[in-house]
Amino acid sequence: MSAHFFSETYLEAKNRFIQKVADTGGRLQSIPVGEGQLAGPSQEPLTIDVGFWGPDQGPTLLLSSGLHGVEGYCGSAIQLAAMDQAFPDALRRIFVHAINPYGMAHIRRVNENNVDLNRNFIFEPDGFKGCSDGYHRLNHLLNPSRPFKGKEFMSVIKTVWAIIRHGMPALKQAVAAGQYAYPKGLFFGGHQMEESATKMMAALQEWLIGDAPILHVDFHTGLGPFGDYALLLDAVKDSALYEEVHDAFGSKVQPWDADEGVAYGISGGFPTAMQDTFGERIRVLTCEYGTYDPRQVVEAMTAENRAHFYGGNVDAAKAQFKEIFYPQSDQWRSRVLEGGIHVIDQALAFLGQTKGAQS
Ligand SMILES: [Zn+2]
């Protein structure tokens, strides 16, 4: 289904997004990132591109992607496909393309400062601290400081991830929750709020004034079974919020809890920042598509990070990394679109809107 929504470079994805916003009668706003200092591989400027449709106020469907750079190729395709859908005129739609344009352009999950932006939304300046004991212990395995040559080191990582897979949620939590101690390591949350994060929050606060309800879906890849998706919600099971969202979105809903599903609790997360900022008005879902086995995912992350900082076989590391977060499989891609459109339909129903109901 519709392979043509999927792009191979940031520049291609960005140009298609911009063109289609215009073709569908939307309004475009582009927020520069690293202006005058950073660019994509073809020297293209890096921007967070945003499309707006519908009225300036009222119930809002907010879709975002590319917080984790390379994961944005999936969200980009879903946003292009969504622009072909017939939305009710009364519904306000805001689609945010590539919150981390550097990572999407350069095939990294992190941004220009090696920061995992989904660990970076912290509003207290002294809040960028901490690293679990588990991470300290595993740092030398996760982040070896020598060039990436190939598979030679991976058996150790395999062992570690075998442990994680086989029932050590605490360890999964310790590694992936976010750390503020190793600036060249995986899941580094930064030392201050990054440019993308700061500009994104400021823009959202400007766009989302008023008290109308907002349904926000932030698209990611890399956790869970191949082609399947989970809707992660920052709420404990059995809470009123969890029940409400579960009733509307069904069995795909999971809490951010290492014991309960594919994910793990994180610090400095974008979803929590959105929930804290917009309160009762907003429901935030992280739509997480599964790709490969968690062991392969962490191997690819370690290899790419080593290649980035210490060199070696950079092309091999990048190719593997891109496939892990953006599989080429037609089946995976068609399931992604199918799932994404289904979630958007559920979101409309949740906002009290029906598709095709043009007034
Ligand atoms: Zn992600």
Which tokens go with 253?
Answer: 């809903």
The 10s digit of each residue's pLDDT in 56-104 is 999 999 999 999 999 999 999 999 999 999 999 999 999 999 999 999 9
Q: Which two tokens stand for residue 291?
A: 């790709």
pLDDT at residue 203 in the model:
98
Residue 65 alpha carbon to ligand 1 centre in Å = 9
pLDDT attached to residue 175: 81
pLDDT in tens, 196-238: 999 999 999 999 999 999 999 999 999 999 999 999 999 999 8
In a domain, 48, yes or no: yes
Q: How far does residue 352's CA lie from ligand 1's centre (Å)?
A: 29
Pairwise CA distance, residues 253 & 232, whole Å: 6
Q: What is the pLDDT of residue 6?
A: 97
Q: Does 64 map to a domain?
A: yes
- Ligand 1 midpoint to CA 87 (Å): 27
Nearest-10 Cα torsion for 167, 170, 176, 182: -130
Distance in Å, CA 117 to ligand 1 centroid: 9
| Ligand 1: centre distance to CA 166 (Å) | 22
C-alpha–C-alpha distance, residues 208 and 55, integer Å: 12
| Residue 344 counted as domain residue | yes
Partners of 188 in the β-ladder: 179
Window from 5-19, 83-97, 154-168 with minimum mean pLDDT: 154-168
Calculate how far, in angstroms, residue 221's C-alpha sits from the geometric centre of ligand 1: 6
Dmax over Cα atoms in the chain, in whole Å? 62
- Measured in Å, residue 15 CA sits from the centre of ligand 1 at 23
| Confidence class for position 294, pLDDT limits 50, 70, 90 | confident
Distance 107 CA to ligand 1 centre (A): 13
pLDDT of residue 260: 77
- Average pLDDT across the chain, whole number: 92
Q: What's 219's domain CATH number?
A: 3.40.630.10
Domain contains 154: no
CB 321 within 8 A of CB 291: no
> Does residue 317 lie in a domain region?
no
Compute the distance between CA of residue 339 and CA of residue 287 in angstroms, rounded to an integer: 9
The answer to whether residue 358 is domain-embedded is no
- How many folded domains does the chain comprise? 1
Residues with CB under 5 A from ligand 1 (ion): 68, 71, 220
Expressed in angstroms and rounded, the spacing between residue 218 Cα and the centre of ligand 1 is 9
In a domain, 102, yes or no: yes
Q: Is the pLDDT reported for residue 359 higher than 60?
A: no
- The angle, 0 to 180 degrees and rounded to 10, between the axes of the packed helices 72-83 and 10-23 is 20
192 Cα–ligand 1 center, Å = 20
Least confident segment among 144-158, 220-234, 243-257, 286-300: 144-158
For position 149, what pLDDT does the model report?
84
Ligand 1 center to 332 CA (angstroms): 17
Residue 163 lies in a domain: no
pLDDT tens column, 301-315:
999 999 999 999 999
pLDDT value at residue 358: 47
The pLDDT assigned to 156 comes to 62
Task: Give mean pLDDT, residues 340-345.
Answer: 97
Range of the domain at 197: 3-131+178-291+326-350
